Amino acid sequence: MIRKQQMEIDNYEKVAVTPRFCYFKPKVMTNSTMAQEIAFSLSQKKKFISSKFFYDDVGSETFEKICDLPEYYLTRTEFEILDEIKSDLSEYLADNFALVELGSGSSVKTRKLLEILTCKQKDVEYYPVDISDILKDSSINLHDEYENLKITGIIDNYETGLEFIRTLDHTKKLVAFLGSSMGNFSPKEGMEFLEKIHESMSVGDMLLLGLDLVKDVKILESAYNDSSGITADFNCNLLLRLNKEFGANFDLTKFKHVAVFNKKHRRIEMYLKSLTKQHVFMPVIDLFLKFKKDELIHTEYSHKYTTSQIKKMTKRTGFRLVHMWNDKKNYFTMALFAVEK
């Protein structure tokens, strides 16, 4: 079934939860890699923390709350588009397809795709890939909801997910990359990542990409500066995590969440701003940090696209754009791509 599986998953522990649900997780604790990355990124002239560290248990839970915020239109809009296009999409998925989802999170939007596939196929294989342990709970929920669903989860980064995609050569694949997650890459990195996705797919496979579109600055900025402060909590949780895991002494009252739209680069930029001149120590990794007043730690980019930019970009990656669907307000777009010879 999964060719080359043994070779590729040697470093992974396979946990069989039920006959229809198993997941793979790296055997080695990723803590030491995280320590190294943090020691590097916080020692740079322009300090940064990789956004993949947002998603510990607390972070993943907080992110779910973000998705429900009135200001955070992205999840809701994407969900609406998916609901609207179900029958359109179904026509493009005439054959049997396995679903691969990069960054599956809570798998809420996945249901829209599974509704299509589980209806017309006897069995459906679903391969969620997510950095967070949230994958276990969301998979169990889906498992209980759809009797003809078989789930193989990969709790790791996208790259590992792509390795898995390569090994699935028995059936056609629909790869879903939703939630404007591609916007968290720079456009150049995003394009390179699309190329990698393309390389790991076969002729006849399809890619469904959800991207946030450029719009009024006020709408964009309030999506990342919600009035209840949940996005601020999400951002600040990075520092709490460093306190918890590396014994750091970040004082949360001395850092502030900042999210601004950079028009030139068409992106929301997220930072943690030091409100005073201060020192922070992380004993576990023996890291001593100095902060100037107003110094920023960069934590995330969220690039916004225009439809013409998406068309241009994807042409260069080898995909053929099949269709694009926007919501009525043109806030968000779903783009379907085909892999051709």
Largest CA distance in the chain: 62
Say how far apart CA 222 and CA 218 lie, in whole Å: 6
The answer to whether residue 180 forms part of the interface with ligand TRP (CB under 6 A) is yes
The answer to whether residue 132 forms part of the interface with ligand TRP (CB under 6 A) is no
CA nearest neighbour of 155 among 59, 24, 29 = 24
The answer to whether residue 224 forms part of the interface with ligand TRP (CB under 6 A) is yes
CA nearest neighbour of 12 among 172, 153, 175 = 153
Element (H, E) at 151: strand 149-155
The answer to whether residue 79 forms part of the interface with ligand TRP (CB under 6 A) is no
Closer residue to ligand TRP, CB minimum distance, 77 or 302: 302
Rounded to a whole number of angstroms, the minimum distance from the CB of residue 247 to ligand TRP is 25
Say how far apart CA 93 and CA 117 lie, in whole Å: 8
Interface residue with ligand TRP among 128, 179, 190, 210 (CB under 6 A) is 179
Say how far apart CA 32 and CA 271 lie, in whole Å: 24
178 touches 78 (CB < 8 A):
yes
Closer residue to ligand TRP, CB minimum distance, 180 or 317: 180
The answer to whether residue 302 forms part of the interface with ligand TRP (CB under 6 A) is yes
Q: Which stretch binds ligand TRP (CB under 6 A): 35-43, 117-125, 143-151, 175-183?
A: 175-183
The answer to whether residue 181 forms part of the interface with ligand TRP (CB under 6 A) is yes
Q: Residue number with the shortest CB distance to ligand TRP?
A: 302
Rounded to a whole number of angstroms, the minimum distance from the CB of residue 37 to ligand TRP is 17
The answer to whether residue 183 forms part of the interface with ligand TRP (CB under 6 A) is yes
Count of residues in contact with ligand TRP, rule CB under 6 A? 14
Q: Which stretch binds ligand TRP (CB under 6 A): 38-46, 116-124, 181-189, 190-198?
A: 181-189
The amino acid that residue 236 corresponds to is C
Interface residue with ligand TRP among 106, 184, 274, 333 (CB under 6 A) is 184
Closer residue to ligand TRP, CB minimum distance, 51 or 60: 51
Closer residue to ligand TRP, CB minimum distance, 149 or 236: 236
Site string for ligand TRP, 50-69 (x = CB under 6 A): -x--------------x---
Tokens in use for 118? 């589980």
Closer residue to ligand TRP, CB minimum distance, 128 or 183: 183
Q: How would DSSP label each residue in 81-130?
A: HHHHTHHHHHHHT-S-EEEEEET-TT-TTHHHHHHHHHHH-S-EEEEEEE
The answer to whether residue 74 forms part of the interface with ligand TRP (CB under 6 A) is yes
Rounded to a whole number of angstroms, the minimum distance from the CB of residue 231 to ligand TRP is 5
Interface residue with ligand TRP among 104, 231, 314, 333 (CB under 6 A) is 231
Task: Taking the CA atoms of 304, 306, 307 and 311 in sequence, report the sign of the dihedral they define.
Answer: negative
Closer residue to ligand TRP, CB minimum distance, 102 or 117: 102
The answer to whether residue 233 forms part of the interface with ligand TRP (CB under 6 A) is no
Q: How would DSSP label each residue in 22-85?
A: EEEEESS-THHHHHHHHHHHTSSSS-B--GGGG-SHHHHHHHHHHHH-SS-HHHHHHHHHHHHT
Say how far apart CA 295 and CA 275 lie, in whole Å: 8
- Quote the strand ranges of 263-339, DSSP E: 267-274, 278-282, 287-291, 296-303, 319-326, 332-339
Site residues (CB under 6 A) for ligand TRP? Answer: 51, 66, 74, 179-181, 183-184, 224, 231, 234, 270, 300, 302
